[in-house]
Structure 1
Amino acid sequence: MEITGKIIQVLEKRSGTSSRSGNAWASQDYVLEFVDGNSQFPRHMVFNVFGEDRISQMNIQVGQTLTVSFDVDAHEYQGRWFNNIRAWRVVAAPEGAVPPVAAAPVTPATDIPAPTAEAAPAADDKVDDLPF
C-alpha cells in the first residue's frame, strides 16, 4: 500500500535487545497527515520504521511531504488485536502531490430564531447547565 502526506510528528525512538537472539533492535513511529479523497478533513496515520539502519537511511523529519509504502498487519496480545503499519520505503513526494485540505463550506444559519427577553432566565432562577 502507498499513501502521500506530511509528517507532523516524529515520536521517540525505542530500542532494546532481543531476548531470543540477543541482537539489538530499534523502532521509531511517525505521524503522517494526509487527505483522503472521500473526506474534506485531514486524516492521520501512525506508521513504524523498524531497524536502526532503515531509520538512519530514511531520515524522516517533521514537515516533509513523503510517499510512504507500507504493509499492514495485526497481532494479538492477551485477547486484544493491534494493527501494525510498517513502512518499507519512504520517498520525497513530487511537488504538489498532496492536495490542500478543503475548508468546510460555511452556510449562514437563517432558521435559528433570535433570542427574546422571555427566553432569558430571571435573576432568581437557577440555571441548570448539566448535560444530562
Structure 2
Amino acid sequence: MEISGKVVELLDEKRGSGRNGEWRKLDFILETQDQYPKKVCISVWGDKIDQYALNVGDQINAGINLESREFNGRWYTDVRAWKVDKMGAGDTGSQGESQIPTPPMEAPAAGMPQEDNDANDLPF
C-alpha cells in the first residue's frame, strides 16, 4: 500500500535490545492531503531512520505494510514504512525527475451521454 502527505510531527526515537539484538524505531505523524485530511502514525525501523532523514514539513510518498495483533483481548495495529520518497521543490533526487505530469481530463462532448462514453471505453 502507499500513502502520501506531509510529515507534521517526529516522535522520540526508541531503542532497545531483544533476542535478535539491538533495535531502533522512529514514529512520525503523516497528514494526508485529501479533502478530509487524516493523521496516521507510521513507524520506521533500523537503518532506514538514517537513510530517510525525515524532517517536519517534508512531503513524502510512503510504501507501507499494515499489521494487527491481539494482546489480552485487544487489537493493536502497526503501520510500518518500507519505502519513503520525498517529493516537492526541495527534492533533488531522481523521484522528482521521474514524475510525469497527468494531462487534464477532457469533458465529454456536448450532447453525448456519459453512460455511452463509459461503455465504449472497454479495452476488449
Are 1:49 and 2:47 an aligned pair?
no
Say whether 1:31 aligns with 2:29. Answer: yes
Indicate the structure with greater helix content: 2
Q: What is the aligned residue count?
A: 90
Runs of 5+ consecutive residues of structure 2 not aligned to the other structure: 90-98, 100-124
Structure 2: distance between partners of 1:17 and 1:32: 27
* 1:2–1:68 CA contact under 8 A, matched in 2: yes
Secondary structure of the residue that 1:42 maps to in structure 2? coil
Render the CA deviation track for 1:71-91: whole Å, top value 9, x for unaligned.
Answer: 011111111101110000000
Matched to 1:8, the amino acid is V
**TM-score of the aligned structures, taking structure 1 as reference length:** 0.64
Alignment gaps of 5+ in structure 1: 98-132
Given that 1:7 and 1:66 are in contact with CA atoms closer than 8 Å, whether structure 2 keeps it comes out as: yes
- Structure 1 residue runs of 4 or more that deviate by more than 3 Å after TM superposition: none
Residue 118 of structure 1 corresponds to none
1:93 Cα deviation from its structure 2 partner: 2.0
Fraction of identical pairs, as percent? 33
- The higher-RCO structure (CA 8 Å, 6+ apart) is 1
| 2:6–2:33 contact (8 Å) kept in structure 1 | no
Instruction: Give the AA of the match of 2:14.
Output: R
Structure 2 residue 57 is the aligned partner of structure 1 residue 63: yes
Q: Is the 8 A contact 1:73 1:83 kept in 2?
A: yes
The match for 2:72 is: 78
- Report if the CA contact (8 A) 1:4-1:93 is conserved: no
Taking the aligned partners of 1:35 and 1:75, their CA distance within structure 2 comes to 29
Pair 1:12-2:6 in alignment: no
